[in-house]
Every structure is written in C-alpha cells, then in structure tokens.
Amino acid sequence: MLARVERSGSRNRGSARRPGARAGQVAAALIALAAVAGCSSSSSPSSAASPASTAPASTAPATSLSPAVTGPPPCATSGLNVTLGASSGYAGGVDVPIVFTNTSGATCTLSGYPGVSLVSAPPYTQIGLAAQRASTVPVKLITLATGAAANAVLQIVDALNFGSATCSPTQAAFLRIYPPNQTAPVFLADTSEICAQPVQTLFISAVQTG
C-alpha cells in the first residue's frame, strides 16, 4: 500500500508541474506574438509611405501661350525715297532735314538714328568723321504708312570755323545716308565743306515724324 501511495504522489507532483510548463509556453507565445505585432506596426508607416515616395510628381497643366504680337517690319532702304529738305542756316553752320518717305506699298517702321557721312565722288571715299548722334529729340518708334514721311535733322558745322592746320577743309561731293537699322546706303549730291582731319563737324538727330 505504501508503494502505491508514493507512485500516486509521484504522478500528482508530475501533473502539478505541467500547468506551470503550459503557462510558460503560453507566455512565450504571447511574447512572440507581441514582438511580431510590434514589428508589423513599426513597419506599417514606412510601407504606407513607400507608395507616396515612389508616386510620380504631379505635373502642372500646360499653359497655352498667346501668339507673339508682331508689328510692321523696319523700313528697308529699297522701300524709302530719301531726299533733302529745305536747309536753315545759323551763325557757323546749317541744319538740313533728311526726309524718308515710305514708297514700299506696305506699312513699315523707323526708329533711331540714320548713319550719315560726307564722301567724295565715286568710289565714295569718306571725308572726315561721320555724323555724331545728337540728343535733340527722343528716340521713338515711328510707323509709316505708304506715302508717309519722317525726317532726321543733320547739322553741318562750317569747316571755316576751324584753323586750316587742324581742319584741312575739303569739299565733298555726296552725302552717304544709311536709313536707321539698314546696311544699304543712299547717296545724295552735297558739296558742303568738311574737315578732312578728325574734327567733329556733323551731328544727326533721331528720326521724327513729319
């Protein structure tokens, strides 16, 4: 009888340890689940942010540009009749209007200064200095319809105002005139005297209406 009791007690002690072992296993399982849940929750923001970081940047809608506004073209030399207006003398020189009339058959524009110099007979060698720009009138864009005219005033200082040694007065044969922003000249007869030495005797204004 004693032996049976001991075996029975042995079984009871074994069975008493099993609930503790099971409790440890359950605790370990819960810890593992908590760790998995923690990893899952910590990785979820990055996984949620990943699509946003790889999403293409939004593109602003293209704006439609208005076509460039274009006006009349510059007046070409071939479309201008260039003449000399009535001169007006003053003590020590003369003012001569250079008149540009649009004969092209289409509206065109003039702006700025013509290029002017006095030259000899052909081959049109320049004598002295070309006309210096004068600020007597402001620079404006002038629109010329067919038949309309603009002018620039050329001031020619009398070469006799200067000594012969410093001026070397020389009679010219033509005025060489480049309309504003053009490279083809016009030659008009003019026998003014000019300094062959580098003395400034020609001054030109910007073109103006009229």
Residues 84 and 12 in one domain: no
Could you give the CA distance from residue 175 to residue 188 in angstroms, rounded to a whole number?
A: 5
Residues 116 and 168 in one domain: yes
Name the region of 128 (left: φ>0; alpha: ψ -120 to 50; beta: rest): left
The 10s digit of each residue's pLDDT in 123-143 is: 999 999 999 999 999 999 999
Q: Which residues contact 71 (CB under 8 A, 6 or more apart)?
A: 109, 143
The 10s digit of each residue's pLDDT in 177-206 is: 999 999 999 999 999 999 999 999 999 999
More confident residue, 5 or 33: 33
Q: How far does CA 2 lie from the centroid of its chain?
A: 115
Residue 97 counted as domain residue: yes
Residues 26 and 101 in one domain: no
Q: Which domain holds residue 201?
A: 77-209
* pTM of the predicted structure, to 2 decimals: 0.68
Residues 86 and 47 in one domain: no
Task: Work out the pLDDT band at 37, boundaries 50, 70, 90.
Answer: very low
Could you give the CA distance from residue 69 to residue 71 in angstroms, rounded to a whole number?
A: 7
CB 152 within 8 A of CB 138: no
Is the bond preceding 123 in cis, omega lying within 30 degrees of 0?
yes
pLDDT score of 152 more than 60: yes
The pLDDT value given to residue 70 = 82
**Bridge partner list, 81:** 101
The 10s digit of each residue's pLDDT in 64-114 is: 555 566 899 999 999 999 999 999 999 899 999 999 999 999 999 999 999
